[in-house]
Amino acid sequence: GALVYQYPRRTICKSGTSMRMECQAVGFQATSVAWYRQSPQKTFELIALSTVNSAIKYEQNFTQEKFPISHPNLSFSSMTVLNAYLEDRGLYLCGARQGQDTQYFGPGTRLLVL
Amino acid sequence: GDSVTQTEGPVTLSEGTSLTVNCSYETKQYPTLFWYVQYPGEGPQLLFKVPKANEKGSNRGFEATYNKEATSFHLQKASVQESDSAVYYCALGESGGSNYKLTFGKGTLLTVTP
């Protein structure tokens, strides 16, 4: 079946430092990968959508300069949170999809910022 | 833009009673509608999806009908179990296109007591 792995599952970083998280699709080809942030106050905020052979599209309030994303092949994507601060805390979810199929989510990377 | 509104939680039910979680949506598109379920410490899992109006989706005893006229997609289950305790999210997604994204409701926390 289709599975999505994310690592690390949980990470703590000091305010102002950066943190990289990874997403791996198993059992299908992730032609598109969406990165979301889920915080206690809000539901899912879409950060960006990455589609193979297309430019990465960032949502309003999220930028490449802050959340650079790499999607080098059909099974892997990574995102870095640069200069993390308290407001960046939350559960970062990767949703991977093959073509027009269902989007499958990983378990998330929980980011804590001290 | 697209939006999804669902029953505000938390909802607490006794095992064996019936569940209804209301979901209404707004969009100018012809969306696919989803129900996702999220357990503690995990990412959202697809419960089921319905791509076409006037059709019903179901899984694990849960069901919902895509009502285009009423723009609703209410989740129902006749008899809940303790293992159904989780957060339920209604979501809509564009039916096609490369810029596919999911718009989620704020989630409904369900607690089922024995």
Judged by a CB distance cut-off of 8 A, whether residue B102 touches chain A is: yes
Judged by a CB distance cut-off of 8 A, whether residue B109 touches chain A is: no
Considering only alpha carbons, which residue of chain A is nearest residue B45?
A: A105
Q: What is the pLDDT of residues B40-91, one digit of tens each?
A: 888 999 999 999 999 999 999 999 999 999 999 999 999 999 999 999 999 9
* Digitized pLDDT (tens) for each residue of chain A, 114 residues in all: 779 999 999 999 999 999 999 999 999 999 999 999 998 776 899 999 998 878 899 999 999 999 999 999 999 999 999 999 999 999 999 999 887 778 899 999 999 999
**pLDDT reported for residue A102:** 83
Q: What is the pLDDT of residues A83-104, one digit of tens each?
A: 999 999 999 999 998 877 788 9
Contacts 24+ apart (CB under 8 A), B1-6: B1/B103, B2/B26, B2/B27, B2/B29, B2/B31, B2/B92, B2/B103, B3/B27, B3/B103, B4/B90, B4/B91, B4/B92, B4/B103, B4/B104, B4/B105, B5/B105, B6/B88, B6/B89, B6/B90, B6/B105, B6/B106, B6/B107, B6/B108
Nearest CB neighbour to B99, from listed A49, A93, A103: A49
Nearest CB neighbour to B46, from listed A6, A46, A102: A102
